[in-house]
Structure 1
Amino acid sequence: MPTERGTVLIAGGTGFIGGAVVRELLAPNGPAPPGAGIRVLSRRPLPGWMEAAGVRRAEGDLRDRATLRGSCDGADTVLHLASYVGRDPDLCTAINDHGTRALLEEAHSAGTDRVVYASTASVYGPGPHRGSTEAQLTPAPASAASASRRRAEQAVLSGGGIVLRPNLVYGPGDRWFVPTLCRLLRKVPVWPDGGTARTSLIAVQDLARVVAALAGRTERRELDSVYHVNHPRPTVLRALVAELSRNLEVRPPETDLPHAAHRELTARVLPELSAHQHGLLTQDHWYESGRIWQHLGLAPGLGFAAGFAASAPWYRRHLAGPNRT
């Protein structure tokens, strides 16, 4: 079936990042061409706001190849924003690895000529990482989830697609980064190495702007294949916690421990937090992230302080509710 210019299929369109991308594509001044169709691959009915906006559902499940047949028919672009981030290795393989390959096969069969995959900087494995470009780091994933997402990357890249590697994403719908950091500060109210770690962050709305801009491109000038997608300016842990304190009444630590001692204490009181996850929150993990903004001609946003203030009402509701961590 021939593709329709501007028709977008979004895998993961009802999730944290995908929902923000759908909103960006639907925005009155968004990048989607007039009359563009938005189709969301989903096992379940779409949220009411999507249906009301005319978003169509493509019923399918990445864990079941047969359900994906025909899902990409007529699509000009596939935005693959669906990932399993838990610790079940079988689900990692079924969704991130095999599911991605099945989706790519459907895209190829349908003649879809553009695929964008939202991966993660965690494919680089444990840090610290300090200002490296995409070409300066070699992936060395340390978890089943990251390893399976790396295999998904390789499949996307082999077909000429684009891979995006954000580090930590915050904003409405974030149920890991800020909630976990708040829990860590309550359980271990001590600075690791003085709270000097620098971290690459991006607001989900800004990540959505990048993904939507890639979907809305009409010219075919060659882009590179892999991009870090973060605010170009990293955030120091102390500054990050200051914003949590200002907006969420999180109490900053008053004492300090060397990183190894901080990790040892955390392992005792928060055993569910892996060493890699602890490192993401407490050690340098920042990446040169200016190229994607330059290539797309987009401003990267105002940074963490302004972005988090806009998201704080959602976090207050989430942290006060039954899912309080």
Structure 2
Amino acid sequence: MKPIIAITGATGFAGRHAVAELLGRGRQLRALVRNPDTANLPQAVETVTGDLADTDALARLLAGADAVIHLAGALTSLDRQGYFRVNRQGTEALAAAAERAGTRRFVHISSLAAREPQLSAYGASKRAGEDVVRGRAQALNAIIIRPPAVYGPGDRGTLPLIKELTRPIAAIPGRRAARFSLIHGRDLARLIAQALDGAEQGLHEVSDGKAGGYGWDELLRAASQFRNAPVRPVFLPRAIPQAVATVAEGLARLTAKPGMINRGKIAELYHVDWVAHEGTLSLADPIPFETGFAETVAWYRAAGWLPQPHGTDRRATSSRTSQ
């Protein structure tokens, strides 16, 4: 019988890429999901109904599991407590359950935002989750992975940025001087699979391997080449997205539906250094941004998330890449 790999967050963007990668390697997966009927996971994936606050569900998830991949997390919340409830307390519950179950490996997917916890409640909660795993690192044989912005087919988080980069004039909520790392969703999935069977422990920041990360000029150049026409940037003064975020937070509280736009996210966007500090966990042949950008735009257009092109950038609009 194949070893069971338990996974949380399997229905998210990065999770679906991880599931596809691991199934492709012949791994047996068991996923924690809130609703198996709407999870839309491959039939080969066993599901356990529940969430990170459900002790019984965590016990079922980890029963006989050889290892656990923790991808689940709160990307949005109405308040600071909501982020911590999932990203810290949920991680603590899972780590404790994994230790009780005797799993041999714990792969914790954090975020580069955890490097600057003062900027946002999200980043602070992800750092708190890392601290939980560090406290049990030896018992769990744990590795913590901090990815930067993850993009690729199926991702809604980076859709607004990709959309701007397909326009003649791109409105950019950020500073011209900023530098940042990126990673394609499939490459993150490959790194997760690599970490699962590796011996590395501790904290590892990862990326697509681009030394020194990217600046806006490099992304704009890639977008211009893709369009066969210039993409000119307009860097928005911070006060504009800050005002939008304040209004968005008010609406979120009124509707009880949190969104991605909030003041913490704006603080992250205007931070100038999101370049990953490369460690020993890396890929020999990562997907370069130029290739990943073209593939992602093609997928968005095929899925109807972006309009079909007009004029000069009629490229790669019919192929749809599977998640």
Q: Could you tell me the TM-score, scaled by structure 1's length?
A: 0.76
Q: 2:11 aligns with which of 5, 11, 14?
A: 14
1:279–1:300 CA distance, 2 compared to 1 (3 A): farther
Residue in 2 that maps onto 1:289:
278
Residue 237 of structure 1 deviates from its aligned partner by: 1.0
SS in 1 for 2:196: helix
Residue in 1 that maps onto 2:32:
41
Residue identity opposite 2:121 in structure 1: A
Q: Please list, as runs of the form range in 1=range in 2, the aligned pairs for 1:1-325 lying within 5 A after superposition.
A: 6-27=3-24, 30=25, 32=26, 36-45=27-36, 47-48=39-40, 50-51=42-43, 54-88=44-78, 89-125=80-116, 140-160=117-137, 161-180=142-161, 182=163, 189=171, 195-217=176-198, 221=199, 223-233=200-210, 234-245=213-224, 247=226, 252-253=231-232, 262-268=237-243, 272=248, 273-274=261-262, 277-278=265-266, 280-281=268-269, 283-293=272-282, 298-316=283-301, 317=303, 319-320=305-306
SS in 2 for 1:162: strand
Stretches of structure 2 that go unaligned for 5 or more consecutive residues are 249-260, 308-323
Residue identity opposite 1:20 in structure 2: H
Measured on the aligned residues, the alpha-carbon RMSD in Å equals 3.1
SS in 2 for 1:21: helix
Residue in 2 that maps onto 1:135:
none
Residue identity opposite 1:320 in structure 2: L
SS in 2 for 1:69: helix
1:202–1:254 CA distance, 2 compared to 1 (3 A): closer
- 8 Å CA contact 2:33, 2:49 repeated in 1: yes
- 8 Å CA contact 1:188, 1:265 repeated in 2: no
- 8 Å CA contact 1:123, 1:150 repeated in 2: yes
SS in 2 for 1:17: helix
Residue 209 of structure 1 deviates from its aligned partner by: 0.1
Residue identity opposite 2:15 in structure 1: G
Q: Could you tell me the TM-score, scaled by structure 2's length?
A: 0.76
Residue 147 of structure 1 deviates from its aligned partner by: 1.5
Residue 268 of structure 1 deviates from its aligned partner by: 4.4
Residue 235 of structure 1 deviates from its aligned partner by: 1.8
Residue 276 of structure 1 deviates from its aligned partner by: 5.1
1:63–1:190 CA distance, 2 compared to 1 (3 A): closer
Give me the whole-angstrom Cα distance separating, in 2, the residues matched to 1:84 and 1:178: 18
- 8 Å CA contact 2:8, 2:72 repeated in 1: yes
1:148–1:48 CA distance, 2 compared to 1 (3 A): closer
Give me the whole-angstrom Cα distance separating, in 2, the residues matched to 1:84 and 1:250: 38
- 8 Å CA contact 1:263, 1:275 repeated in 2: no
- 8 Å CA contact 1:189, 1:252 repeated in 2: no
Residue 281 of structure 1 deviates from its aligned partner by: 4.3
SS in 1 for 2:144: strand
Give me the whole-angstrom Cα distance separating, in 2, the residues matched to 1:201 and 1:318: 24
Give me the whole-angstrom Cα distance separating, in 2, the residues matched to 1:181 and 1:276: 21
- 8 Å CA contact 2:245, 2:263 repeated in 1: no
> What count of residue pairs does the alignment treat as equivalent?
283
